[in-house]
Amino acid sequence: MSLKLTELTYQRDSSDLFSRIAAEPWSVFFDSGFPNIDTGRYDVIAGRPFKTITTVGETTTVTDQSGKQYNTTEDPFGLVRDLLGDREKNLTGLPFCGGAMGYYAYDLGRRIEQLPETATHDIHLPDMAIGLYDWVVIIDHQQRKSSLVSCGR
C-alpha cells in the first residue's frame, strides 16, 4: 500500500468542502476554528471508513464497507491497533494521513479499571466509536494548501 498525495484547491472556509460529504456514513470534520480563530491551522475531513468499530459494554462490533459484521469481546484498544495493521510511515509532512478517527467515551475505561457507577445512563451512545479511514483531506490554513491523502485501498 502506498500513500498518494493530491493537491486540492485551497478554501479558506473548510465547512463548504465538508458539506459535500456531510451526509456520507461516518463523515468527520475536525475543525480548527479557522477563519474565526486565526491560530487554527489544520482542518481534517474524511468519510466512508473501510471499517467501523463500536463498543457497548463488553461487546465490540466490527463492520466493513459491505455491511458484513462480527462481534467480539476482545480488548477494544488492542482490536483497533490490530485492525489498523502495519501502517506506512507518514512522509507527507502533514499531521495525519489516514487511520483511526472517532472517540473513546469515559465509560470505556471500565474495560481497564474499576470505576464507580454513579452517573445515570441517560445518553445511549457507544462507549467507543472508531472509523478506519483510508483517505483524508487536510486543509493547512497556515500554508494555504489543501491535500487529499489516500492509502490506495
Q: What is the pLDDT of residues 63-118, one digit of tens each?
A: 999 999 999 999 999 999 999 887 766 667 888 888 899 999 877 777 777 766 77
152 pLDDT above the threshold of 80: no
Candidates 46, 54, 58; CA nearest to 14 is: 46
1 pLDDT above the threshold of 60: no
Higher pLDDT among residues 139 and 109, named by residue: 139
Q: 55: which strand partners? A: 60, 128
- Residue 17 · residue 137 · CB < 8 Å: yes
- Average pLDDT (39-56) is 94
> Is the whole-model pTM more than 0.85?
yes
